[in-house]
């Protein structure tokens, strides 16, 4: 065999080994473990989302479409334990309404649905920039997607990274179970060190604040894409449950004091004209405490933890309604009046703490960590 033939054989072996790693070591896990919030992962999410859907194995009870908020609070394993229902998330960072329309259109072409959960974000109704999600090219992988899956540096890196992550969290889980039953082991040096470990879900970013609210205005162009989503689901006879994601009360107060809370109310009025929706964007017992290590519901003031996700999903799919208000065209003005009253009272009672929160400038990703809970 000449040198060229050996080179071709080597390439084929590398392709085969890469495919084995991506498929057998962590089956399609490459798509779910590279979740770091950075410009790189924003781009990566948009490249991988359609290949991910084309290779989907799950047949869940509920499919949730959303953005980074849903990505943070949807812990599908925990939701199954809590509700007995399986969930599948179709989410990308900063998913614009235009991109949401593409995702729902593509997904329901490949997998006809009777019901969907669609998470909406207030700030995405204030965006009129074009999305960067690639066009859907059909239910089968195209050559470009296959090459991406096999040779993408990020895909390979994510597969390797996910193996270490999976082992790390399994170690924490089983050690935690062991220490719950044998707390005397904490006297040993190894377990003393272990107690300082933290899970990703227990990180907090209490200083994170978006500081450009005064520039936000309702954009009809973005709303029109939402209206097209509703039209699409109606045409395909899909029962789409729309809901407006919450933010922490301190962030909502910031929006009010920045002079744009009227845009929130306008967004809700316009949505109600198109469809009833569940509203979680108001002051409640789940949102009123500041982001801290003691608050189980919030990762930062704009993104909930999985404890909040469980409450939201439970409110949407069960008869229990611990959180959320069903808003219709008939009750929207009454709801808005009550919510404004709650918010203004909250600001009066917590003005000093809110001003301290608003003193944070820009995106401060300073993190605090919980210890592993042994209770």
Per-residue tokens: 179? 């220490």
176's enclosing H/E stretch is helix 153-181
Element (H, E) at 156: helix 153-181
In a domain, 374, yes or no: no
Residue 252 pLDDT class (50, 70, 90 cuts): very high
Joined together, the tokens standing for residue 65 give 């479409």
Task: Kindly state the DSSP code that residue 139 receives in the 8-state scheme.
Answer: S
Structural tokens at position 78 = 């925990």
Q: What are phi and psi of 300, to 5 degrees?
A: -145, -175
More confident residue, 55 or 170: 55
pLDDT value for 22: 54
Cite the beta strand spans of the chain per DSSP E.
62-66, 87-91, 115-120, 203-204, 239-244, 277-279, 298-300, 303-304, 325-327, 368-369
Q: What is the DSSP letter of 124?
A: G
Question: What pLDDT is attached to residue 253?
Answer: 97
Q: Whose CA is closest to 229, among 108, 87, 330?
A: 108
- How many Å apart are CA 295 and CA 249, to the nearest integer? 13
Provide the pLDDT for residue 205.
87
Strand 203-204 and strand 368-369: the pairing is antiparallel
- Would you say residue 122 has pLDDT above 70? yes
Number of domains in the chain: 1
The answer to whether residue 375 is domain-embedded is no
Return d(Cα 211, Cα 362) in angstroms, integer: 6
* Backbone torsions φ then ψ of 92, nearest 5 degrees: -140, 150
Mean pLDDT of the chain: 83
Rounded to the nearest 5°, which phi and psi values hold at 98? -60, -45
User: pLDDT > 70: what percent of the chain?
Assistant: 79
Give the range among 45-49, 224-228, 280-284, 299-303 with minimum mean pLDDT: 45-49
DSSP string, 286-310: TTSSPSSTT-TTEEETTEE-HHHHH
**Domain-located, residue 223:** yes
Nearest of 41, 32, 360, 33 to residue 205 by alpha carbon:
360
pLDDT band at 33 (very low <50, low <70, confident <90, very high): very low
Tell me whether residue 357 is in a domain: yes
CA distances to 14, 211, 222, 225 from 216, in Å? 49, 11, 13, 18
Q: What is the pLDDT of residues 80-90, one digit of tens each?
A: 888 889 999 99
209 vs 200: which has the higher pLDDT: 209
DSSP state of 52: H
Whether 149 is covered by a domain: the verdict is: yes
Residue 30 has pLDDT above 50, yes or no: no
| Whole-angstrom distance, CA of residue 313 vs CA of residue 303 | 15
The boundaries of the domain holding residue 354 are 3-369
pLDDT at position 225 is 96
Q: Using CB atoms within 10 A of its CB, is residue 67 exposed (0-12), middle (13-18) or buried (19+)?
A: buried
> Are residues 215 and 255 in contact, defined by beta-carbon separation less than 8 angstroms?
no
Which pLDDT belongs to residue 308? 94
Note whether 245 and 69 are within 8 A (CB). Answer: yes
Q: How far apart are the first and last CA of the chain?
A: 65
pLDDT at residue 128 above 60? yes
Answer with the residue of higher pLDDT: 367 or 256.
256
φ, ψ for residue 304 (rounded to 5)?
-80, 160
């Amino acid at each position: 065999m000449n040198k060229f033939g050996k080179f071709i054989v080597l390439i084929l072996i590398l392709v085969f080994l890469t495919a084995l790693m991506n498929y057998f070591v962590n089956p399609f896990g490459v798509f779910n473990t590279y979740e770091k919030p950075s410009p790189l992962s924003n781009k990566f999410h948009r490249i991988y989302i359609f290949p991910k859907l084309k290779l989907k194995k799950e047949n869940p009870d509920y499919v949730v479409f959303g953005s980074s908020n849903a990505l943070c609070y949807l812990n599908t394993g925990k939701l199954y334990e809590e509700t007995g229902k399986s969930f599948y998330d179709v989410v990308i960072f900063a998913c614009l309404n235009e991109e949401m329309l593409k995702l729902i259109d593509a997904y329901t072409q490949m997998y006809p649905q009777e019901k969907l959960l669609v998470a909406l974000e207030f700030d995405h109704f204030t965006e009129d920039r074009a999305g960067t999600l690639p066009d859907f090219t059909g239910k089968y992988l195209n050559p470009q997607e296959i090459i991406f899956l096999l040779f993408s540096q990020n895909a390979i890196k994510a597969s390797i990274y996910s193996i270490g992550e999976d082992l790390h969290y399994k170690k924490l889980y089983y050690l935690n179970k062991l220490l719950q039953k044998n707390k005397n082991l904490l006297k040993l040096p190894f377990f003393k060190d272990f107690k300082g470990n933290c899970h990703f879900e227990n990180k907090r970013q209490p200083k994170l604040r978006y500081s450009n609210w005064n520039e936000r205005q309702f954009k009809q162009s973005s709303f029109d894409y939402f209206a097209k989503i509703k039209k699409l689901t109606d045409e395909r006879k899909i029962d789409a449950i729309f809901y407006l994601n919450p933010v922490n009360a301190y962030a909502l107060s910031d929006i009010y004091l920045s002079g744009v809370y009227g845009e929130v109310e306008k967004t809700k009025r316009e949505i109600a004209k198109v469809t009833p929706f569940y509203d979680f964007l108001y002051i409640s017992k789940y949102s009123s405490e500041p982001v801290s290590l003691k608050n189980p519901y919030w990762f930062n003031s704009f993104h909930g933890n999985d404890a909040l996700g469980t409450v939201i999903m439970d409110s949407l799919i069960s008869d229990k309604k611990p959180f959320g208000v069903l808003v219709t065209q008939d009750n929207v003005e009454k709801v808005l009046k009550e919510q404004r009253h709650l918010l203004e009272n909250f600001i009066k009672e917590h003005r000093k703490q809110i001003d301290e929160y608003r003193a944070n400038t820009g995106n401060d990703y300073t993190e605090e960590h919980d210890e592993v809970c042994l209770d």
